[in-house]
Amino acid sequence: MEKTRRGLAGVDIAIGDIVGRKSYNKDIYFKVVELFERDKVPYAILRGLDIRLVSDAPVDDLEKISPAEVAEYWRKVMKSSGELVKRCFERREAEHIRSLNRTDVKTFDVPGRVLHIDGDGDYLDLCITTYKQLGVPADGYHIPEERQPKEVVLLLQKHRPDLLVLTGHDALVKGASDFRDMKNYRSSAYFVEAVRAARQWEKNRDDLVIFAGACQSYYEAILEAGANFASSPERVLIHAFDPVFIVEKVAYTPVSKAVALKSVIESTITGYPGIGGLDTQGKYRMGAPKSAY
């Protein structure tokens, strides 16, 4: 298999192009990240534009998406994300009022802090922007999935976060039928190894809350390795922002309460088919009154 990051002679698809697969009616938009030849047939490695999926496809099966279509696609994605952000703030305001039973006392928030390690730099930028919108303190690093197990502990020691996100891209190998065979997943083994390394550093699931996985990831193995939340129970595709809305809920659930699993999973874009987890304590502390200085 001959790979190239520049292009292939006679091929009208280039690295960085946004494309859809004709055989799938262009149901998902992808970015072309690599081109190669397999048995002299041009192929492309694809990464979902907002879905955490990595795939490959013959170049002949790809169709370029126009800039106008891409812009409209992102408009719809950001509108959906914006609605979820709005719900987060409405939920927090209601919780503040209930906890104090009054509205005339100014409070301040001390939410849990996040370390987000992502195999996709574009997704990481989107997630960090969303954390800022949500008021969740976060440190982010773009690290390929295969390097995450080796680098996660050093970053944990540096930042000492309350919550850890390990994500990027994953997929079931085409034609795979044994969902319990790790060899049938592109990146799940790396997520499992990274979670195990993090758990060696901090064994308590309430002291360090971990979300790990991407599209179609080996859900059961990731949870068994020590994650609190993982994808993907039904081996479906998950959205780029799903990890953000999971950890936001944990970061803003009071330390005296367990996160309501139903509520936290339903706060994501994908929901139950794509995200699952375990009972977990919240990481939020509210202070009052807020200082005027």
Q: Against a cut of 0.85, is the pTM above it?
A: no
Cα–Cα distance for residue pair 193/198, rounded to 1 Å:
9
- Read off the DSSP letter of residue 35: E
Q: Taking residues 188-209, report their average pLDDT.
A: 97
- Structural domains of the chain sorted by starting position, each given as residue range(s) with its CATH number in brackets: 2-65 (2.30.30.140), 84-287 (3.40.50.10090)
Mean pLDDT of the chain: 89
Question: Residue ranges of the alpha helices (H) in the chain?
Answer: 67-100, 121-134, 148-159, 188-201, 219-225, 242-251, 261-266
- What's the pLDDT tens digit per position in 11-51? 588 899 999 999 988 888 999 989 988 888 889 989 888 88
pLDDT at residue 99, rounded to an integer: 65
- What's the pLDDT tens digit per position in 251-285? 999 999 999 899 889 888 888 999 999 999 999 99
